[in-house]
Amino acid sequence: MTDTRTAPLLSPVMVLRIAIIVVAVVLWETAAYVASILGQIDPSLASLGTIMSKVMPSLLVIGKALGQLLVYPDLKWTLGGSEFSIPGFYWHLYVTLAEVIIALAIGGLAGLLAGLALGANPFVSSAFERYLYYLGPTPKIVFFPIMIMWFGVGPESKVAMGTISAFFPIALSVAAGMRQIDRVLIRVGRSFRLNTWQMVTKIYLPAMREPIINGVRLGMGVALIGVLLAETKLSNRGVGFMIIDAYNTFDMPRMYAVLAALFVIAIAANALIGRLSRR
């Protein structure tokens, strides 16, 4: 007998994900509505309701702020003697993404080399890997004053923050991946008298594709966090600056709009890395 049952349109996991989003939206809108009518319920709570409405605006207000953020030309640009205006968000986003990409490239390369050294040499691993495990969970923002002294207040200190943030998860992922390589592959490489470079490119890296991609995914996330934290502390440009500037001026809809745009970009970048890992 032929099974004529069709696969469900949405998997249980997808249904749960959608339900979580719906519940979050309903709770947020409910809280925003209660805040807006709090003064009508009890006049003595009017000031509290005003503050709550500012802190937790409705999603419609946040959506309007997001639209303004993406399309309103609030930044003047001069090129070739001609002046034109663009939405300032894209300039700040370009600054942050450039810093994250540079930080991920430097931290990723350093983490890859360190991970290869740790995984290939038990003596090096026993001597240094413990320090990586100790320093890895340390909040990297504590190093920011040192980065300022070394690199100044410009973008170099933000890149340095992203670099040290990305280094640790990538190095540890590569080191762990090295130990999971089938020893048969290594013996085959040695039997063919492959040199160190050939062993790395033909044996180690192909066998560690998944750990490397997972390390890059983690490294990208923490590099973004490191750069954003640095931008909120001492900067006049970048997405982190936009967030802290909106917070300082109590422009909560704009702050939430920037966070929402950043959240979508982070999801897209994570999905892109995931797609590359499946190829």
Q: What is the pLDDT of residue 158?
A: 93
Residue 10 lies in a domain: no
* Residues 154 and 25 placed together within one structural domain of the fold: no
Q: What is the pLDDT of residue 2?
A: 54
State yes or no: pLDDT of 232 exceeds 70: yes
Residue 151 lies in a domain: yes
Query: If pLDDT is split at 50, 70 and 90, which confidence band does 127 have?
Result: confident
* Residue range 106-127: mean pLDDT, rounded: 88
- What distance in Å separates the CA atoms of residue 213 and residue 217, rounded to the nearest whole number? 6
State yes or no: pLDDT of 119 exceeds 90: no
For the chain, give the mean pLDDT. Answer: 86
CA angle 109, 176, 123 (to 5 degrees): 90
Q: What is the pLDDT of residue 226?
A: 92
Residue 136 lies in a domain: yes
State yes or no: pLDDT of 3 exceeds 60: no
* Residues 93 and 49 placed together within one structural domain of the fold: no
State pTM to two decimals: 0.84
Q: What is the pLDDT of residue 9?
A: 66
Provide the percentage of residues in the chain whose pLDDT is more than 70.
Answer: 94
State yes or no: pLDDT of 126 exceeds 90: no
* Residues 25 and 139 placed together within one structural domain of the fold: no
Residue 161 lies in a domain: yes
State yes or no: pLDDT of 4 exceeds 70: no
* Residues 40 and 139 placed together within one structural domain of the fold: no
CATH number for the domain including 220?
1.10.3720.10
Distances (CA, A) of 64 to 248, 250, 257: 20, 16, 9
Within a 10 A sphere around the Cβ of 118, how many other Cβ atoms?
23
* Residues 244 and 106 placed together within one structural domain of the fold: yes
State yes or no: pLDDT of 168 exceeds 90: yes
Token pair listed for 245: 């500037």
| Span 233-269, pLDDT tens digits | 888 889 999 999 999 999 999 999 999 999 999 888 8
* Residue range 205-214: mean pLDDT, rounded: 84
* Residues 91 and 32 placed together within one structural domain of the fold: no
Residue 3 lies in a domain: no
* Residues 95 and 227 placed together within one structural domain of the fold: yes
* Residues 98 and 182 placed together within one structural domain of the fold: yes
* Residues 94 and 189 placed together within one structural domain of the fold: yes
Q: What is the pLDDT of residue 51?
A: 82
Number of domains in the chain: 2
Residue 72 lies in a domain: no
Token pair listed for 248: 């300082």
Q: Which residue has the higher pLDDT, 193 or 95?
A: 95
Q: Which domain holds residue 165?
A: 86-277
